[in-house]
Homo-oligomer: A and B are copies of this chain.
Amino acid sequence: MTTPHTTDRRPGGEVTVAVCQIAPQIGDGAGNQRRIRAAVEEAAGRGAHIVVLPELASTGYVFTDAHELRSVAEAPDGPTLTQWRELAARHDLVIVGGFAELGGDGRLYNAAALVDPGGLRATYRKAHLWDGEKTWGFTPGGAPPPVVDTAYGRIGFMVCYDLEFPEWVRLAALDGAELLCAPVNWPLYPRPEGERPGEIVRVQAAAAGNRMFVAAADRAGPERGQQWLGGSVITDADGYPATALRLGEEAVLTATLDLAEARSKAISDHNDVHADRRPALYAPMVRER
């Protein structure tokens, strides 16, 4: 069984990307599974080829302590990625989402996975941990963001705070990511009136600086008193949002993009955002300080 959109598939050409701004809740694993299924089915019904879920989509985020986190973490062959593989196969999708991984080494990782109709293609462990993640027992990852060739284009992915490090975004872009998918959970912070949230601004800059599409799937809230931004965004390769924001709402946002545009990094007759780099001059930035 496949949804009708599969006839629209144009490898290397236009694809529809969905970001699912759902509201997972700690301690409600079954409810989170339902929320994910409903959002992915809505996305598929709207013609999505690539679906991005938030960070820690199947568990919720606001853990009390390492014990609670460990109690819900699971291996890549656990129920969460099993569900995503089934949804990907049924609807002919690429799905990227975040989950709490119990590693084969017994450690806990704030992880993400990319699945497609062929199954699990890659997992990733967040390399830059945020705040409480450092006290709940997550171990930071030590591998670069994966970049995977899929039927719909070349897709890189990373998790939330990773995006704030242009070095990390650059690695994915230099590895040829046409679309960078980012499961995120952005806490709500005050900002000056009329200003677009900084998290979105930084995604825009990440996209434009690499002429790469970016799809960040944020969550809605609240959860255990924590308010969330709900700032999911899909940008074009110039860094401008490709669809209206739905700040704070539960929503599925979609945009149709020609990912092939990201293969050219040219921005003028004599400029190319990657070829113009001066890597030899950047060496001091990779020194430990």
> Which residues in A have some Cβ–Cβ distance to B below 8 Å?
127-132, 134-135, 140, 142, 144, 161, 164-168, 170-171, 174, 191-192, 195-196, 198, 201-202, 204-206, 208-209, 238-241, 268-271, 273-274, 276-289
Contacts and interface: CB of A to CB of B under 8 A. Distances in A.
Contact of A279 (B130, B201, B281, B287): B287
Contacts of A240: 191-192, 195, 198
Contacts of A268: 130-131
B288 A280 contact: yes
Tally of this chain's copies: 2
Given A192-B241, A279-B286, 11 more contacts: A128-B278, A161-B276, A164-B273, A165-B209, A168-B282, A192-B240, A195-B241, A198-B238, A198-B240, A201-B208, A279-B288
Given A127-B281, A286-B282, A239 B167 contact: no
Nearest to A206: B205
Contacts of A283: 286
A-B pairs, 5 with minimum CB distance: A166-B166, A205-B205, A167-B282, A131-B268, A202-B205
A50 to B, nearest CB: 22
A80 to B, nearest CB: 26
A170 B285 contact: yes
Nearest to A271: B131
A247 to B, nearest CB: 15
A243 B266 CA distance: 32
A171 B282 contact: yes
Given A270-B134, A270-B135, A281-B142, A202 B192 contact: no
B170 A166 contact: yes
A202 B209 contact: yes
A239 B196 CA distance: 11
Contacts of A208: 198, 201-202
A283 B205 CA distance: 22
Among A132, A205, A277, the one with the most B-chain Cβ atoms within 10 Å of its Cβ is A205
B204 A198 contact: yes
Nearest to A283: B286
Nearest to A189: B238
Contacts of A289: 174, 274, 279
A132 B270 contact: yes
A64 B205 CA distance: 32
Nearest to A236: B192
B131 A277 contact: no
A148 to B, nearest CB: 17
Nearest to A169: B166
A199 to B, nearest CB: 9
